[in-house]
């Protein structure tokens, strides 16, 4: 299986701004930001979407949220931000490697449908 777009960014094979990295995940700036801060938190393990995750991934999924919180703190988001995971093409997912969107830095509307 070939590497996902995000894995290629992590490996430096295509350009991207990596803002965080640990043994389980990494984070990059979104190429088309929808808010002043728009960062994607991505597991190193290539799971296509949350609905493909299994029980062995429970800690990994929790880790993604914990790291999202830390990155929000580091960007002074003042405890006001949005975390989004699109699951499946009909839910808006376009890159099939799990990622948490961290959005903040402005007042956010809520119109997901
Ligand atoms: P999804 O629609 O799958 O939930 O989110 C995919 C996100 O990846 C989108 O917000 C999109 O802007 C971002 N994206 C797509 N291609 C690239 C790229 O080449 N580099 C970066 N940094 N982000 C990308």
The residue behind tokens 């402005």 is: 106
99 is catalytic: yes
- Cα(54) to ligand 1 centroid in Å equals 24
In the chain, the largest separation of any two C-alpha atoms, in whole Å, equals 40
The tens digit of pLDDT for each residue in 70-92 reads: 999 999 998 999 999 999 999 99
Of all protein residues, the one whose alpha carbon is nearest to atom 20 of ligand 1 is 31
The tens digit of pLDDT for each residue in 52-74 reads: 999 999 999 999 999 999 999 99
Among 78, 66, 81, residue whose Cα is nearest residue 35: 81
**pLDDT at residue 105 greater than cutoff 80:** yes
Catalytic-role residue among 63, 66, 97, 99: 99
d(CA 85, CA 48): 12
Q: Please state the pTM of the whole predicted model.
A: 0.98
Q: How many other CB atoms are found less than 10 A from the CB of residue 75?
A: 16
Residues 6+ apart with CB under 8 A from 46: 1, 3, 4, 7, 97
């Amino acid at each position: 299986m070939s590497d996902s777009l995000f894995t290629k960014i992590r490996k430096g094979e295509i350009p991207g701004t990596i803002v965080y990295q640990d043994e389980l995940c990494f984070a990059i700036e979104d190429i088309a930001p929808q808010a002043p801060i728009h960062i994607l938190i991505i597991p190193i393990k290539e799971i296509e979407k949350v609905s493909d995750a299994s029980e062995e991934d429970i800690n990994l999924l929790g880790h993604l949220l914990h790291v999202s919180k830390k990155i929000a703190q580091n960007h002074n988001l003042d405890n006001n931000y949005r975390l989004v995971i699109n699951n499946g093409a009909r839910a808006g997912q376009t890159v099939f490697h799990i990622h948490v969107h961290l959005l903040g830095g402005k007042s956010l509307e809520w119109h997901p449908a």
